């Protein structure tokens, strides 16, 4: 396994492998890896000849009062996990390598970013789209793998790839959960034992929704109110959003007439967690 930190060396490596006809799979991450990330790595290993994993905590997707400085980092741990998975390359650039002095260019995907995390975290998806665009240009993968816990992010990246005619296939992968049902996240490390118990209310609210649907409830406001009340019945919780949306385009739904996405963002004390589920109706 190679560790590359310079853009030129990364591009040279890719050019050499591509010249030999190798298919390149790419898993972009911010590090502090968990089983969710590793599921993407394993799928990439299955689909491609070369798998490259980037580790870069992207400052442009964090707001001024968010957790950039305390975001968990442990490169030695991540390196060991990726070595065990037989990853070919870790791309591990520093901030100056990605955003040199006098950097001025950003990517902005419109409309689908003006809701959910796009409202609650202004500038977040501008930062996400920009860094992913740059990484795609550096790594030039045939396929790139993203987890559906960040459902809106997956749609944003797919739209960027479509609109900018990028030659990369986006492969969405299912949410990976802890044994107790909590969606895996690098931020779960912030949670105390008591807070983790409250965090389980996100996933458990899905059972409530299934029961409401069985009883014939189809009004989205009723479902959202019931979910909010259920989550807020647990200590330390504060709702950031509870929304019911079309899973294809993230349009808000008032009356449920078909499949829908329930998207959640909840603060458990100071830790912001997201989760989602598509319900079939």
**Per residue in 162-204, pLDDT tens?**
999 999 999 999 999 999 999 999 999 999 999 999 999 999 9
Please check if 61 is assigned to a binding site: yes
43 lies in the same domain as 166: yes
The pLDDT score that the predictor gives to residue 219 is 96
**Domain edge (last residue) among 143, 173, 203:** 173
The pLDDT score that the predictor gives to residue 65 is 85
**Domain edge (last residue) among 173, 201, 224:** 173
- Catalytic residue at 37? yes
135 lies in the same domain as 11: yes
- The verdict on residue 180 lying in a domain is no
Please state whether the predicted TM-score (pTM) of the whole model is above 0.85: yes
Q: What is the CATH number of the domain that holds 237?
A: 3.30.1300.10
CA-closest candidate to residue 129, choices 90, 100, 163, 172: 163
Q: Would the pLDDT of 103 be above 90?
A: yes
Q: Would the pLDDT of 128 be above 90?
A: yes
Please check if 37 is assigned to a binding site: yes
Please check if 63 is assigned to a binding site: no
Give the mean pLDDT of the chain. 97
- Supply the range of the domain harboring residue 65: 2-173
Q: Degrees (nearest 5) of the Cα angle 125, 247, 166?
A: 50
> What's the 3-state SS for 52-112?
EEEECCCHHHCCCCCCCCCCCCCHHHHHHHHHHCCCCEEECCCHHHHCCCCCCCCCCCCCC
**Domain edge (last residue) among 109, 138, 173:** 173
Of 17, 26, 29, 37, the active-site residue reads 37
104 lies in the same domain as 237: no
Please check if 158 is assigned to a binding site: no
Which residue do the tokens 């898993």 mark? 27
42 lies in the same domain as 18: yes
């Amino acid at each position: 396994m190679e560790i590359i930190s310079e853009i030129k060396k990364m591009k040279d490596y890719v050019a050499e492998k591509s010249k030999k006809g190798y298919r390149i799979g790419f898993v972009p991450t911010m590090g502090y890896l968990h089983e969710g990330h590793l599921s993407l790595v394993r799928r990439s290993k299955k689909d491609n000849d070369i798998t490259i994993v980037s580790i870069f905590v992207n400052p442009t997707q964090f707001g001024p009062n968010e957790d950039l400085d305390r975001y968990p980092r442990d490169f030695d741990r991540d390196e060991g996990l990726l070595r065990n998975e037989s990853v070919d390359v870790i791309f591990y650039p520093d901030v100056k390598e990605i955003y040199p002095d006098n950097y001025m260019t950003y990517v902005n995907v419109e409309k689908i970013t003006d809701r959910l995390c796009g409202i609650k975290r202004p500038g977040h998806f501008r930062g996400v789209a920009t860094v992913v665009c740059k990484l795609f240009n550096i790594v030039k993968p045939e396929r790139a793998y993203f987890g559906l816990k960040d459902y809106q992010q997956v749609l944003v990246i797919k739209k960027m790839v479509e609109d900018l005619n990028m030659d990369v296939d986006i492969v969405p992968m299912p949410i990976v959960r802890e044994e107790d049902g909590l969606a895996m996240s690098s931020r779960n490390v912030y949670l105390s034992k008591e807070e983790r118990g409250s965090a389980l209310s996100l996933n458990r609210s899905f059972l409530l929704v299934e029961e409401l649907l069985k009883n014939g409830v189809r009004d989205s406001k009723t479902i959202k109110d019931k979910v909010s009340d259920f989550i807020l019945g647990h200590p330390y919780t504060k709702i950031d959003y509870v929304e019911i949306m079309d899973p294809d385009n993230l349009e808000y739904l008032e009356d449920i007439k078909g499949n829908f996405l329930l998207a959640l963002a909840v603060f458990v004390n100071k830790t912001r967690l997201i989760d989602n589920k598509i319900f079939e109706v």
